[in-house]
Amino acid sequence: MYKIVRKKELNAAVTYMEIEAPFVARKAKAGQFIIFRVDEKSERVPLTIAGYDREKGTVAIIFQKVGLSTEMLGSLNEGDYIQDFVGPLGKPTDVEGKKRVCVVGGGVGCAIAYPSAKAFKEAGVETDVIVGFRNKDIVILEDEFKQACDHLYLMTDDGSYGEHGFVTVKLQQLLESGIQYDEVLAIGPIPMMKFVSKTTEPFGVKTVVSLNPIMVDGTGMCGGCRVTVGGEVKFACVDGPDFDGHKVDYDELMSRNSVYREREAEERKTHICRIQKMGEELIK
């Protein structure tokens, strides 16, 4: 069992948690992920590591309540325990040998972009960050990003905060201004990563994307997370989750991620009682 030692609501839908998991904290690196399971009946769900404290033995996660398991996790509080917390899994973000990079984060994907930006900055890489949100109300981690980069560009789709427009608009401007990036790292919704890759392609800038396919075990034994990269089948849990953004088959990934959608919608309706029950038991 793994204890929740800190919880903070970042906005109405996004929650930050620190989990006591000393073994994971010892080895965790930016870009890697964990798999959690709330209780005995729960599914295994992957989440990228948002931070870690090796001395305290804690690992931070940031998640959006989008379905049954994340709702259940979000309903828990400091001092509660979850059943399983496995990691660190996947390969870490490669920060070596770069002079200047641009990290692009979209929505809750910023939670994953943040530790990578920080890792680049700490490795002495000049780091630009572009983060995008739908509107002002869902902006997260602004102060943290300011600390973790050299230039921060905050965009909102509706212009209610920061600059108006998508992240790709800003990225295009920066590339056109003649900045030479060794790498652009994009993390967010699949369409956003696809369009970031399209934006960088004409400039010939190496682009890395952090993929988020459906996973079960996260250790390479099932292939549920397989993605096509450059015509080859890769398992995101062990070969990734970072891949060459110019070679990923995004449409296939998007299609595969929808395979259980109907079932998930149904689950959310019929299983919502489990969350209530859990809550009642905790009150007791």
Partner 1 sequence: MANMQATKTPMPEQDPNVRNKNFKEVTLGYTAEMAINEAKRCLQCKKPHCVEGCPVNIHIPEFIHEVAEGNFEKAYEIITDTNALPALSGRVCPQETQCESKCVRGNKGEPVAIGRLERFVADWYRENINAMPKKAESNGIKVAVVGSGPSGLTCASLLAKKGYAVSLFEALHTAGGVLVYGIPEFRLPKAIVANEVEKLKAQGVEVMTDMVIGKVLSIDELFEMGFKAVFIGSGAGLPMFMHIPGESLKGVCSANEYLTRINLMKAYLEESDTPILHSKAAAIVGGGNVAMDAARCAKRMGTDKVYIVYRRGEAEMPARLEEQHHAKEEGIEFLTLTNPTEILGGEDGRVCGMKCIKMELGEPDASGRRRPIPIEGSEFVLDVDMVIMSLGTSPNPLIRSTTPGLETNKKGGIIVDENEMSTRENVFAGGDAVTGAATVILAMGAGKKAAEAIDRKLQGK
If binding is defined by CB under 8 A, does position 147 make contact with partner 1? no
Q: How far apart are CA 75 and CA 98, in angstroms?
A: 41
**Options 151, 159, 222, 230; binder of partner 1; rule CB under 8 A:** 222
Based on CB atoms, which residue is closest to partner 1, 27 or 151? 27
Burial 79-95 (b: 16+ CB within 10 A, else e): ebebebbbbbbbebbeb
10 Å Cβ neighbour count for 164?
12
Provide the CA 208 distance to its chain's centre, in angstroms. Answer: 14
Min separation Cβ 161 and partner 1, Å: 36
Burial 189-202 (b: 16+ CB within 10 A, else e): ebebbbbbbebbee
CA nearest to 151, candidates 127, 116, 122, 115: 127
Residues 44-73 that bind partner 1 (CB under 8 A): 44, 68-69
Q: How far apart are CA 259 and CA 49, in angstroms?
A: 25
Q: Where are the alpha helices (DSSP H) in 104-217?
A: 110-122, 142-147, 167-176, 190-200
Q: How far apart are CA 215 and CA 224, in angstroms?
A: 6
Question: Which of these segments, 117-125, 136-144, 161-169, 221-229, binds partner 1 (CB under 8 A)?
Answer: 221-229
**Options 161, 219, 278, 279; binder of partner 1; rule CB under 8 A:** 219
DSSP letter at 284 equals -
**Options 124, 159, 191, 223; binder of partner 1; rule CB under 8 A:** 223
- Contacts with partner 1: how many residues (CB under 8 A)? 41
**Options 4, 24, 171, 196; binder of partner 1; rule CB under 8 A:** 24
Count of all residues that appear for the chain in the document:
284
**Options 42, 75, 172, 173; binder of partner 1; rule CB under 8 A:** 42
Residues 250-279 that bind partner 1 (CB under 8 A): 252, 255-256, 258-260, 263-264, 267, 271
Give me the 82-121 binding string for partner 1, x by CB under 8 A, dash otherwise: -xxxxxxx--------------------------------
| 96: amino acid identity, one letter | E
Based on CB atoms, which residue is closest to partner 1, 63 or 181? 63
* Residues whose CB falls within 8 Å of the CB of residue 96, separated by 6 or more in sequence, listed in order: 123
Min separation Cβ 98 and partner 1, Å: 24
Residues of the shown chain interacting with partner 1 in the complex, contacts defined by CB under 8 A: 23-24, 26-27, 37, 41-44, 68-69, 83-89, 216-217, 219-224, 226, 228, 233, 238, 249, 252, 255-256, 258-260, 263-264, 267, 271
